[in-house]
Amino acid sequence: MSDTPTRPCDRCQTLPSSAEGAGRLFLWSPVGHAQGRLVSLLRETRHEVQVRAEAQCVAVWVPEAALSPLVSSLVAALSQEEARATRVLFVPGAAEPGLGDYPRVGSLQRLVTRTRAGWLVDLLAEQRLTTHFQPIVHARDTGRIFAHEALMRGLEPDGALVSPGRMMQTARDADLLFQLDLAARTTAIRQAVRHGLDTHLFVNFTPTAIYDASYCLRSTVEAIHAAGIEPRRVVFEIIETDQTADAEHLRAIVDFYRKAGFQVALDDLGAGFSSLNLIHRLRPDIIKLDMELVRDVHLDPYKGSIVEKLLEIARTLGIRTVAEGIETHEELHWVRAHGVDFVQGYLIAKPQSPPVGLTPTFVE
């Protein structure tokens, strides 16, 4: 690890500044008639507008808490393509944009999404992420826990849970996936230590939320070392591989984790052609069979044949297997009879915090 850069990843660790305060919105329109419509709208709504012809820019003063409704009205005045092509920058206060501000220039459409995602920025800034843990148990002895998978949850200010799906979709749309993914990983590590887990720990990561393994993942590795967790007990689980077009980028991430002593799992095997192709590219230590394949596998000969072949491939290659989504005794008995190594699902236990304890006979 000594050759790894020590500079932190600003992209992953920096949240966008709050858009609730007053400031100026700068707009660069791709064509003159679009700029004209924006200026007319702004003047009709009595905004303080400055047209800077030399920079082909419009600057408008935005009162406190007025940015979200303003950008929504601007988007409504443009076509979808014009909204995507119009570049914007919000600068708090009365200062002129500096060189450090220009990396934050983005589309008007993206700013609309970002202003509507203020709840997620607040959630991350206030560290209102939490982790629920779901056990992964030995198939032949379901009372023996092999690992816990750390699953992200959010908390409203009143303590109500925020679903991971809502957070992920908002983060994707608002370009906050880097920050959310990092916060989820570090929260999982911190809470695993707090609960005293001594099993393997599965930690999910989204490949598209990592642009450079040496920078983006260093803080995660340092958190694991600082927590005193043995690297061999940590399994980084690759999720959303269907959205990862760059297999070489993904391989670089996997290589980084392996050099640090961690294991790698490939999620949702069988959910698409891409995940099958990634087996030979990534050489995972563990593969997880997609829950849709496992559902009623004992009743469907097509599913059964596919799962049998996947298990055979894994055994031949020395890859351990997890059947996820186990909900019935019949599914458990089928995958156990066909040689799966580990199982996970609601029949065993639901994700919980603190982690659930198991007894040896409760699913026999």
Residue 24's beta-bridge partner residues? 61, 91
Instruction: Give 358 or 277, the one with higher predicted confidence.
Output: 277
Question: What pLDDT does residue 1 have?
Answer: 45
**Quick one: which H or E segment has residue 238?**
strand 234-238
The residue whose two tokens read 């994707």 is 172
140: CB partners within 8 A, 6+ apart? 336
Helices (DSSP H) in the chain: which residue ranges? Answer: 10-13, 32-44, 67-76, 80-85, 108-116, 118-125, 164-173, 177-194, 213-216, 218-227, 247-259, 273-282, 291-294, 301-317, 329-337
Predicted pLDDT of residue 264: 94
Residue showing tokens 């940015």: 67
In tens, the pLDDT along 318-335 reads 999 999 999 999 999 999
The reported pLDDT for the residue numbered 235 is 97
Tell me: pLDDT of 159 over 60.
Answer: yes
CA-CA distance, 262 to 240, in Å (whole number)?
Answer: 20
Chain-centroid distance of CA 360 in Å reads 34
Query: Which residues, 6+ apart, have CB-to-CB distance to 217 below 8 Å?
Result: 210, 253, 256, 257
Look at residue 3 in the predicted model and tell me its pLDDT: 46
Q: What is the pTM of this model?
A: 0.83
User: 310 near 270, Cβ under 8 Å?
Assistant: yes
Q: 28's torsion region: left (phi>0), alpha (psi -120 to 50) or beta? A: beta
DSSP code of residue 4: S
User: Contact at 8 Å (CB) between 49 and 39?
Assistant: yes
Higher per-residue pLDDT: 232 or 173: 232
* pLDDT for 5: 44
Q: How confident is the model at residue 60 (pLDDT cuts 50, 70, 90)?
A: very high
Q: What is the mean pLDDT of residues 177-203?
A: 94
Dist CA 140 CA 341 (whole Å): 8
Closest CA to 39 of 102, 84, 86, 91: 86
pLDDT above 70: percentage of residues in the chain: 90
**Domains and their CATH numbers in the chain:** 23-115 (3.30.70), 127-343 (3.20.20.450)
- Mean pLDDT rounded to a whole number for the chain: 88
Confidence of residue 2 (pLDDT cuts 50, 70, 90): very low
Task: Tell me the per-residue pLDDT of 234-283, one tens digit each, with 9 for 90 and over.
Answer: 999 988 655 555 778 888 889 999 999 999 999 877 665 456 778 888 89
Q: How far apart are the first and last CA of the chain?
A: 45
Per-residue pLDDT tens digits for 82-92: 888 999 999 98
Tell me the average pLDDT across 211-235. Answer: 87
Residue 220 backbone phi and psi in degrees, to 5: -65, -45
Task: Give the C-alpha separation, 104 to 115, whole Å.
Answer: 14
Among 164, 178, 173, residue whose Cα is nearest residue 15? 178
Judge whether residue 164 has pLDDT over 60: yes
Q: Does 25 have pLDDT greater than 60?
A: yes
Placement of tokens 């399994």 in the chain: 235
Per-residue pLDDT of 105-142, as tens digits, reads 989 988 888 888 889 999 999 999 999 999 999 999 99
pLDDT over 90 for what percent of the chain?
61
Q: Coil, strand or helix: which one is 86?
A: coil
Q: How far apart are CA 248 and CA 234, in angstroms?
A: 23
- Checking if the pLDDT of 218 tops 90, the result is no
pLDDT of res. 277: 77
